[in-house]
């Protein structure tokens, strides 16, 4: 399994995945050093959506080959619904999966512990980005993202997938209400994704859970790029909701 990131800028403003760069996909995952990204204090409203990027971010991410004047974004609601990005970009709705077959339309997913998953078929040239936390995991967001790419002609076996920095099993402790949802969705297999901690609590490995779900959906394990970089472990570089940060990281990608 590939597990690399390349840092850009000093201090590091964003990361890229060599596996995605190798197939020509413009993309980036920002750090807390990238200015111009909307914070949690500036939620995306479906009544009055406004682009969550300011000029500083557009300039920095432009170096990654991303033209943010056409960026598509959503109000993320921890569900499994899909929106196909408008050709002109802009607000795509209250969803957690964005997809496109339009060249040059960046898709943006915002996170501060949850997984941002990039799915790209370089043969058919179809792209999907998904926002997946524990709720999305049990609600089938990952599998829905693979299906969405397939609806545009993509093949799961051809996908190149990357999982952006997110909270790791070292820092993600959950209690019985969460594990009950995992048991309901997955039966006993959820136990392979947790490690007991204190009474009534476990450390949850969303990375392994979603890697398994991607593989079951037909993605080759060797095509899943996960650096396993924990947001909570690197407060100097990454935002983490669990650590009390109000900022957001953004993962952006666009079809070449």
pLDDT digits (tens, 9 = 90+) for 70-118: 999 999 999 999 999 999 999 999 999 999 999 999 999 999 999 999 9
The answer to whether residue 56 is domain-embedded is yes
For residue 160, give its domain range.
6-167+206-253
DSSP code of residue 94: S
Total of domains in the chain: 1
Q: What is the CATH number of the domain that holds 12?
A: 3.60.140.10
Distances (CA, A) of 189 to 28, 78, 194, 217, 228: 33, 22, 10, 16, 21
The answer to whether residue 176 is domain-embedded is no
The answer to whether residue 173 is domain-embedded is no
How is residue 61 written in tokens?
Answer: 């991410």
The answer to whether residue 185 is domain-embedded is no
Cα 111 from Cα 113, distance rounded (Å): 6
Query: How many angstroms from the chain centroid is the CA of residue 35?
Result: 19
The answer to whether residue 192 is domain-embedded is no
Q: pLDDT by residue (tens digit) across 176-194? A: 999 999 999 999 999 999 9
Q: Is the pTM for the entire model greater than 0.85?
A: yes
Q: pLDDT by residue (tens digit) across 10-32? A: 899 999 999 999 999 999 999 99
The answer to whether residue 13 is domain-embedded is yes
The answer to whether residue 193 is domain-embedded is no
- 85 DSSP β-pair partners: none
């Amino acid at each position: 399994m590939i597990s690399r990131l390349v840092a850009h800028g000093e201090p590091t403003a964003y990361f890229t995945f060599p596996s995605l760069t190798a197939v020509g996909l413009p993309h980036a995952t920002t750090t807390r050093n990238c200015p111009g990204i909307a914070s949690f204090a500036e939620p995306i409203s479906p009544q009055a959506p406004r682009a969550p990027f300011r000029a500083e971010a557009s300039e920095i991410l432009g170096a990654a080959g991303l033209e943010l004047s056409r960026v598509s974004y959503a109000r993320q609601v921890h569900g499994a619904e899909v929106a196909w990005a408008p050709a002109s970009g802009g607000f795509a709705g209250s969803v957690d999966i964005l997809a496109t077959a339009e060249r040059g339309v960046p898709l943006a997913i915002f996170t501060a512990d949850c997984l941002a998953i990039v799915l790209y078929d370089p043969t058919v040239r179809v792209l999907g980005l998904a926002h997946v936390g524990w709720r999305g995991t049990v609600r089938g967001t990952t599998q829905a993202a693979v299906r969405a790419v397939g609806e545009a002609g993509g093949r799961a076996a051809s996908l190149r997938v990357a999982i952006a920095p997110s909270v790791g099993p070292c820092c993600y402790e959950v209690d019985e209400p969460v594990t009950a949802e995992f048991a309901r969705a997955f039966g006993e297999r959820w136990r392979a994704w947790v490690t007991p901690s204190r009474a009534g609590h476990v450390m949850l490995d969303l990375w392994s859970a979603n890697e398994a779900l991607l593989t079951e959906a037909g993605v080759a394990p060797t095509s899943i790029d996960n650096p396993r970089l924990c947001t909570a472990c690197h407060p100097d570089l990454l935002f983490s909701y669990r650590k009390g940060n109000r900022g957001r990281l953004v993962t952006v990608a666009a079809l070449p």
